[in-house]
Amino acid sequence: MPAQPLNSSDLSALATTLPNWQLVAGTLHRDLVFADFVEAFAFMTKVALIAEAMDHHPQWSNVWNRVSIDLITHDTGCLSNLDVQLAQRIDGLTP
Ligand code: H2B
């Protein structure tokens, strides 16, 4: 199913539905800190498998124990339902 762009009402709801994420420069942003590099990379591996299964991939960076994630739908240049789904699944990996 093609990505469905979020409307202004959807965007307003994000603060409630995805409290771990912030709207930053048109992306859904989350910073995570882990015990060490192995924990951070293990998390990234789990996210990579989810992203590949969804065919929807994060923009992200990793510095030792830190992972910074920005979700956006490149095909549409805006946030979509796929970004929300991926954020929810990422949240499902973290305590
Ligand atoms: N990931 C993200 N974040 N946005 C996209 O628009 C996107 C993607 N498009 N992963 C997918 C791949 C597309 O390029 C392939 C051809 O399905």
The pLDDT of residue 27 is: 98
Q: Is the pLDDT of residue 95 over 90?
A: no
Q: Is the pLDDT of residue 1 over 80?
A: no
Q: Which residues pair with 60 in a beta bridge?
A: 69
Boundaries of every domain in the chain: 22-76
Residues framing ligand 1 (Cβ under 6 A): 55-57, 73-75
Mean pLDDT value of segment 35-63: 98
7-40 per-position pLDDT tens digit? 999 999 999 999 999 999 999 999 999 999 999 9
Ramachandran class of 72: left when φ > 0, alpha when ψ lies in -120 to 50, beta otherwise? beta
- Give the CATH superfamily of 22-76: Transcriptional coactivator/pterin dehydratase (3.30.1360.20)
| pLDDT band with cut points at 50, 70 and 90 for residue 66 | very high
Q: Whose CA is nearest to atom 17 of ligand 1?
A: 55
